[in-house]
Amino acid sequence: MRKVTVFPKSNEVKREKIASTLLGSSVILLFLISWELLFQFRFVNPLFISSPSRVVLALLTIIMDGSLLQNLIISGQEFVFGYGVAILLGFPIGIMLGWFKLVRAAFGPFIAAMQATPRIALMPLFIIWFGLGITSKIVIVLLSAIFPLIVNLQVAMSTIDNDLIHVARAYGASRWQVFRSIALPTTLPFLITGLRLAAGRGLLGVIVAEVFGGAAGLGYMIQYAGSTFQTDKVFAGVLVVAFTGITLDFTLDRLGRHFDRWRGEVAVH
């Protein structure tokens, strides 16, 4: 029998990972400590910069008195509805733009023009049309999130492998079968990318819309805290927003990896 050489499992990759994690966290820690010191020794007007410890305190306060949850629910509603409708509309629109030449020729320029318009500048109009309530925010989220989806799906359709279509046709596939078995799977990674971008833009849309013309929600809370010089609360609000964004992005990234297994980052051989 031939002897097969087997090397022991190497820890090199793991060690490198730990080292880089340590390095990254120590920079953040250093930043927080310097910030705290800057505050404690009154180098800058404490009214303006707050401090990590006071931000944590403010965070605990808004958690305890329920105001955070209350605002989170309102902002969450605006985001979920706007984002949901953006997916429901953006997905078919992007696919149709990519799949049908005629649709692209007809609506391509219109959509490009829409995309170039800064959505938030339309906020005053939306407030007139839909009021200060949740609806005007949903519209902003929708308009912020829909374009990354449309663009990504349209691009996805242009990356379809023509050889695969050739093979499918040779096996007698109908246009619909080509679409289902080749075009749709091709769009999946692009859809995930689109969803990630759209989530970021949508979140930004919620906050900016509430800061500009809100009566409730996280953005309003931040804006109100700022105008009353509650710097701690501003930072606490920003922290919550950032955390939400990171969590959302991480989840979608994971989802993307799940659907991308066939691409070979997790090759077996």
Q: With binding defined as CB under 8 A, does residue 261 bind another protein?
A: yes
> CA–CA separation, 196 vs 250, rounded Å?
9
The single residue listed with the structure tokens 């310097």 is 34
Could you give the count of Cα atoms lying within 13 Å of 120 in the half-sphere of its Cβ?
A: 13
Span interacting with another protein, options 42-50, 102-110, 125-133, 174-182, rule CB under 8 A: 174-182
Measured in Å, how far apart are the chain's first and last C-alpha atoms? 23
Can you tell me which of 27, 80, 125, 167 binds another protein, judged by CB under 8 A?
A: 167
Token output for 128: 């007139």
> CA–CA separation, 98 vs 102, rounded Å?
10
- The least distance separating another protein from the CB of residue 172, rounded to whole angstroms, comes to 4
For 145, counting Cβ atoms within 10 Å of its Cβ (0-12 exposed, 13-18 middle, 19+ buried), the class is buried
CB 114, CB 97: distance < 8 Å: no
Q: With binding defined as CB under 8 A, does residue 255 bind another protein?
A: no
CB 86, CB 141: distance < 8 Å: yes
CB 89, CB 146: distance < 8 Å: yes
Token output for 242: 């950032």
Q: What is the x/- site pattern for another protein, positions 177-206, by CB under 8 A?
A: x---xx--x--x------------------
Span interacting with another protein, options 50-58, 82-90, 160-168, 239-247, rule CB under 8 A: 160-168
Q: With binding defined as CB under 8 A, does residue 258 bind another protein?
A: no
CB 263, CB 192: distance < 8 Å: no
Give the nearer residue to another protein in terms of CB position, either 3 or 166: 166
Can you tell me which of 33, 161, 228, 247 binds another protein, judged by CB under 8 A?
A: 161
Q: With binding defined as CB under 8 A, does residue 175 bind another protein?
A: no
Q: What DSSP letter does each residue of 86-130 carry, written as one string?
A: HHHHHHHHHHHHHH-HHHHHHHHHHHHHHHHS-GGGGHHHHHHHH
Can you tell me which of 155, 164, 239, 255 binds another protein, judged by CB under 8 A?
A: 164
- The least distance separating another protein from the CB of residue 92, rounded to whole angstroms, comes to 21
Q: With binding defined as CB under 8 A, does residue 16 bind another protein?
A: no
Residues 103-132 within binding reach of another protein (CB under 8 A): none
Task: Compute how many residues bind another protein; rule: CB under 8 A.
Answer: 23
Q: With binding defined as CB under 8 A, does residue 15 bind another protein?
A: no
Can you tell me which of 10, 113, 172, 227 binds another protein, judged by CB under 8 A?
A: 172
Give me the residues that bind another protein (CB under 8 A), please: 161, 163-164, 166-173, 177, 181-182, 185, 188, 261-264, 267-269
